[in-house]
């Protein structure tokens, strides 16, 4: 028996080659406590921005009211033909990968960079066209100034290039329950696995 073990041990030596690791990217868990709304907002929270926004249902809300949910945000405009349809598809793709039981803790938000055209009515229409009528989908518009300020926090750049068209960066951002930015992904049709992982991380802690 001993001999057999020694043999196996020696053989073991010869089979230890370099196995190339193909493990997926692990996202380090964040050290955020559970949300206590009486606690002061962290300094980096977007809820520090004072502006008021209007939803597709015509309600006026302050961003702060969303505190407690994990936010997945993107900035688009409804008359966009090029990237926005793809951004919307990306958002949908991400939403599909979030487990059903987590969905009520997540808010998918599309903020318009063209508040003049994207009235609440228009946003409502858009949500219908894109089958995004469930509660976890939200469309927001604000004043020109508030929009510009909001964009700077997301590091989204945009410029009006014609009466109906904008040039803008394509970024999807994830915020934790306290409104602190935890993840961003730039580009279209990119691999959304990291974004989904980030959402999962925030929901489950």
Partner 1 sequence: MKAVNRISMRIFVQFFLLSALILGTFTSCEKVVAAKEDPEMMKVYGKSEAELTAPPFVPRPVGNRAATKLVVNMEVVEKEMTMADGVTYNYWTFDGTVPGSFIRTRVGDEIEFHLKNHPDNKLPHNIDLHAVTGPGGGAEASFVAPGRESVFTFKALNPGLYVYHCATAPVGMHIANGMYGLIMVEPEGGLPPVDKEYYIMQGDFYTEGDFGEPGLQAFDMNKAVEEDADYVLFNGHVGALTGENAIHAEVGETVRLFVGNGGPNLTSSFHVIGEIFDRVLVEGGDLVNEGLGTTTIGPGAAAIVEFKVDSPGELVLVDHAIFRAFNKGALGILEVEGPDNTKVFGGKIEEKPYQPVDTKTPIDGDKVENEGEVKITSLSEKMERGKTIFSQTCFACHGATGGGIPGAFPPLADSDYLNADVNRAIKAVKRGLSGEITVNGNVYNSMMPPQNLSDEDVANVLTYVYNNWGNKKTEVTEEMVKEALQ
Partner 2 sequence: MKAIISRLAVCFAIMIQSQAFSQSGDMANIKGGEFLPLYGTGEPVVIEDFKMDVYPVTNKEFQQFLQKNPRWRRSEVKKLFADEGYLIGWKSDLDYGSEALANAPVTNVSWYAAKNYCECEGKRLATVDEWEYVAMANEDQADAREVKDYNQYILGWYETPNTFNNEVGSTFKNYWGVYDLHGLVWEWTLDFNSVMVTGESRKGSTGDNNLFCGAAAVGATDLMNYAAFMRYAFRGSVKANYAIKNLGFRCVQDMNTKVNL
Which residue ranges make up the site for partner 2 (CB under 8 A)?
Answer: 43-46, 48-50, 52, 62, 80, 82-84, 148-149, 151-153, 155-162, 165-170, 186-188
Closer to partner 1 by Cβ: residue 15 or 162: 15
Among residues 63, 27, 34, 69, which one has the least CA distance to residue 149?
63
Q: The tokens of 43 are what?
A: 């300094």
- Which long-range CB contacts under 8 A does 153-156 form with residues at least 24 apart? 153/46, 153/49, 153/181, 154/73, 154/75, 154/181, 154/184, 155/184, 156/75, 156/113
Contact status, residue 53 vs residue 63, Cβ threshold 8 Å = yes
Closer to partner 2 by Cβ: residue 62 or 121: 62
Per-residue CA distances from 31 to 70, 103, 126 (Å): 15, 22, 37
Closer to partner 1 by Cβ: residue 17 or 39: 17
Contact status, residue 194 vs residue 201, Cβ threshold 8 Å = no
Kindly state the smallest distance separating residue 58's Cβ from partner 1, in Å.
41
Residue 33 interacting with partner 1 (CB under 8 A): no
Residue 190 interacting with partner 1 (CB under 8 A): no
Q: Which does 153 bind (CB under 5 to 8 A by kind): partner 2, partner 1, none?
A: partner 2
> One symbol per residue from 99 to 118: x for binding partner 1 (CB under 8 A), - otherwise; what is it?
--------------------
Kindly state the smallest distance separating residue 64's Cβ from partner 1, in Å.
30
Q: How far apart are CA 185 and CA 190, in angstroms?
A: 8
Kindly state the smallest distance separating residue 201's Cβ from partner 2, in Å.
21
Kindly state the smallest distance separating residue 54's Cβ from partner 2, in Å.
15
Closer to partner 1 by Cβ: residue 2 or 81: 2
Q: Is 96 exposed, middle or buried (0-12, 13-18, 19+ CB in 10 A)?
A: exposed
Residues that bind partner 1 (CB under 8 A): 3, 7, 10-11, 13-15, 17-20
């Amino acid at each position: 028996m001993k001999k057999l073990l020694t043999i196996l041990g020696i053989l073991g030596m010869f089979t230890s080659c370099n196995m190339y690791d193909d493990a997926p990217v692990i996202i380090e868990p964040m050290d955020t406590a559970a949300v206590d709304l009486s606690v002061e907002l962290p300094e980096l929270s977007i809820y520090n921005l004072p502006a008021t926004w209007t939803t597709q249902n015509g309600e006026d809300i302050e961003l702060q009211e969303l505190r407690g949910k994990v936010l997945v945000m993107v900035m688009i405009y409804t008359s966009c033909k090029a990237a926005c349809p793809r951004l919307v598809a990306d958002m949908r793709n991400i939403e599909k990968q979030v487990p059903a039981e987590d969905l009520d803790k997540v808010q998918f938000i599309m903020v318009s960079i063209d508040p003049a055209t994207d009235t609440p009515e228009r946003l409502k229409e858009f949500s219908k066209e894109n089958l995004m009528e469930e509660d976890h989908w939200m469309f927001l518009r604000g004043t020109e100034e508030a929009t510009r300020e909001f964009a700077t926090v997301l590091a989204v750049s945009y410029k009006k290039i014609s009466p109906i068209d904008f040039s803008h960066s394509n970024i999807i951002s994830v915020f934790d329950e306290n409104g602190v930015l935890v993840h961003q992904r730039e580009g279209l049709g990119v691999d959304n696995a990291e974004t989904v992982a980030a959402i999962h991380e925030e929901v489950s802690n």
